[in-house]
Amino acid sequence: MQNYHEQITVLMNLEACAIESAARRMNTHDANRAVEILINCAGKVVVMGIGKSGVIAQKVAQTLTSTGMAAIFLHPTDALHGGLGIVAAGDVVIFLSNSGETDELIALLPSLKRRAAPLISIVGNMRSTIARHSDIALDASVEREACPLDLAPTASTTVALAIGDALAMTLSAARGISREEFALNHPAGQLGKRLTVTVGDLMHADTKHPCVESDARWIEAITAISRGGLGAVNVVDDNQKLVGIITDGDVRRALEQGKIATHTDLRARDIMTANPVSITADRLAYDALRLMEDRPSQISVLPVVDEAGHAVAILRLHDIVRSGL
């Protein structure tokens, strides 16, 4: 089999160098002005492009939207046939065009001017028609494409995407978007769940919450584990404060060590894990996952307590995994 590794890495480095070159060329005034225009946008951001640039434009629009900025992708052909009605005063328009001479985009320039919509362009030719008619033109030119024939849009689209992402992320930082606000726009994804799903959303705290006092007989503890069906029981003192936990593993070890066979009056406190790691219901479920896994000996159940240390529930690793975290 022929080894293509060298060619792949050379082409990847070519695209990486194209991004570095574009970053060095980035004009300070233009970069600052582009972000200011977006910050002051009273409406939405409308992103347009044709072909491969259109695909990049869609991604830029989605990235802006995911960070809380209202943005849409509008196909230039659709815009020319009525879709332009979506663009209103107060909107900002972003054009992506490697040549800067895309006919469909150029045909839209007069209509955009009448709507007084600021135009930011990401172009590969700073002397092009689109660049000259833009409020701000950002240089996305490349010396050559990664394509061996120097034809297929590769390095140029990578640079355009990098500039679009940089604009979106700089805008997000300037607007002070928090992790929680970002997560609200990603409720179904793993990232959103890690930032929004709490222990309280997943824990088992119904009337069958398994709990025994520390002086309960060992058989009562085992019965409580079986009744709860969670593989563990919280052990509490007279004030219902957590003092330990008994898991299936604790019972198995007690059997292996002969404790249960030789001490018929064994109590819950004699086989429990004392002062176990615990968590409150308002903490993120992802924090609970880290507590359970980032330790020398992993655990599969976690006691849940209130602020005063009272046992209120049990959270299982299985429940966290099942939630998609």
Q: How far is the C-alpha of 286 from the C-alpha of 199, rounded, in Å?
A: 8
3-state secondary structure string across 46-57: EEEECHHHHHHH
* 180-188, Cβ contacts within 8 angstroms, sequence gap of 24 or more: 181/68, 182/66, 182/67, 182/68, 185/65, 185/66, 185/67, 185/68, 186/66
Q: Determine the pLDDT at residue 191.
A: 66
Top-confidence residue, 252 or 55: 55
Strand partners, 138: 122
| pLDDT of the residue at 3 | 82
Return the structure tokens found at 133: 């008619």
> What is the C-alpha to C-alpha distance for residues 182 and 127, in angstroms, rounded to an integer?
38
249-254 contacts, C-beta under 8 A, 24 or more apart = 251/221, 251/222, 251/225, 254/218
Q: Which residues, in sequence order, are CB contacts of 245 under 8 Å at separation 6+? A: 232, 233, 234, 235, 272, 273, 276, 301, 303
Evaluate if residue 208 carries a pLDDT over 70.
Answer: no
Residue 215, both tokens: 């002086």
pLDDT band at 258 (very low <50, low <70, confident <90, very high): confident
Q: Give me the pLDDT at residue 197, please.
A: 85
* 79 close to 106: Cβ distance less than 8 angstroms: no
Per the CB < 8 A criterion, the answer to whether 103 and 95 are in contact is: no
| Per-residue confidence (pLDDT) for residue 34, from 0 to 100 | 97
The structure tokens 């006919």 sit at 103
Ranges 19-28, 115-124, 127-136, 140-149: which has the least confidence? 140-149
Contact indicator for 53, 153 with CB cutoff of 8 Å: yes
Instruction: Tell me the CA distances in angstroms from 24 to 13, 41, 113, 214, 303, one per residue in order.
Output: 16, 27, 31, 67, 53
What pLDDT was estimated at residue 102?
Answer: 97
* Selected residue with higher pLDDT from 181 and 40: 40
**Mean per-residue pLDDT, 92-113:** 96
Q: In this structure, are residues 234 and 242 in contact, taking their beta carbons and an 8 Å threshold?
A: yes
pLDDT above 60 (res 207):
no
Q: Which of 67-81, 257-271, 274-288 has the lowest mean pLDDT?
A: 257-271
Tokens of 18: 């194209």
Over residues 303-325, the mean pLDDT reads 89
* Averaged pLDDT of the chain: 90
Give the model's pLDDT for residue 325. Answer: 73
**Which among 65-69, 77-81, 150-154, 268-272 has the top mean pLDDT?**
77-81
Q: What's residue 152's pLDDT?
A: 87
User: Which domains occur in the chain, in start order?
Assistant: 5-177 (3.40.50.10490), 199-322 (3.10.580.10)
pLDDT at 184 over 70: no
